[in-house]
Every structure is written in structure tokens, then in C-alpha cells.
A = this chain, B = another copy of it.
């Protein structure tokens, strides 16, 4: 079965978005600071991390808020992944709010994962966020790996990736690669 991994950028104090999120600032004011390793400060190592992420991925899963905020508004109404994306949502959006390459799953994360598996082939499934679906996947034990791109900043407040998980999850640290923009941490979820 294809591996399922989470890959997200997070501040040292645990935030994946800053405060005051808006269509102009989908990650909140100062939130793009978390992605310096991809944009303003990308080194060769960061570039390799990003290339590997995209080349290993056969299907992507995102939550509704991520779809609307980051993709619909911020990414020019295109599927930037080059592979099928499955959006976990309460209801299928109107035609106007649908983008090609995105599939809408209203029956929960297990179904979204099953559909992603049929699309991923022998590649991996990237859970791209946000926090809500990430926590659902962690609670239900559906993740094999966590890839955290730890940005060297304390945001002070914002949206937490691991807020109120309410469950202990044992991990194994399998990689730590430091660049100026992020420390790329990989963990395997112990079962």
C-alpha cells in the first residue's frame, strides 16, 4: 500500500498559519515566513527536499479550508501538484468553485484516503493539510510519516498543527536536515 505522509511547514512554537488569515494572506500576516525555505531563502538542499516531495507524490489530500484559502485564492485557480487532489469537505462546491484535478469527498477522511490510494499507484500519498484533517488522520492512525519543515521563528500566535490532539503518538526521528529557511524533520509513526 502506498505510504501516507504529512508534509507541512511549522514554526518552532507549533503554528502552521499566523493570525488574521484572509484571501490576501491565506497564511495570516507574517505567515509566509514559514515558507521561506521554498521561496525567499531556498537553498539547493531546500530545492531537493521540494523536488523529492513532488516526485514521490502520486496523490494529494487537503482539507476544505486549505483548498479555499491556499489553492483557490492563492494559487491562480490551478492544481499545482500535477497529480489528483482529494478535498475533504462537508459538501461538494458549486461548479463555479471547482477546479480541474480536484476531487471532492464529502464522506470523510477514510473515503478520501481510499480514493487517493486508487490514484497514487506505487507513489506516496501526501496529506498537505490543514491542521483539522491532519489531526483527524493522526487520531485515526492513518499516517505513516510526518515531514515537518520547522521554520526558525516563534510566531507567538496563530493556528496550531497539533492542537488538542488528545492522544499520545510515538514517533521515530528518521531525518533532520538544517538549512537557513527550515530544519527539515522526518518522523515515522510507531504502531
Contact = CB atoms under 8 A, between A and B. Distances in A.
Interface string A129-167: 000000000100000001010101111110011101111
Contact of A177 (B176, B180, B182): B176
A170 interface: yes
Contact of A168 (B30, B146, B170, B182): B30
- Size bin of chain A's contact surface: 35 or more
A124 to B, nearest CB: 20
9 residue pairs, one from A and one from B, having the closest CB atoms = A13-B162, A152-B171, A154-B169, A176-B178, A14-B14, A156-B165, A152-B173, A176-B176, A156-B167
18 contacts: A12-B162, A12-B171, A12-B187, A13-B162, A14-B160, A14-B162, A30-B168, A152-B187, A153-B169, A154-B167, A154-B168, A154-B169, A154-B171, A156-B165, A157-B166, A173-B178, A173-B182, A183-B185
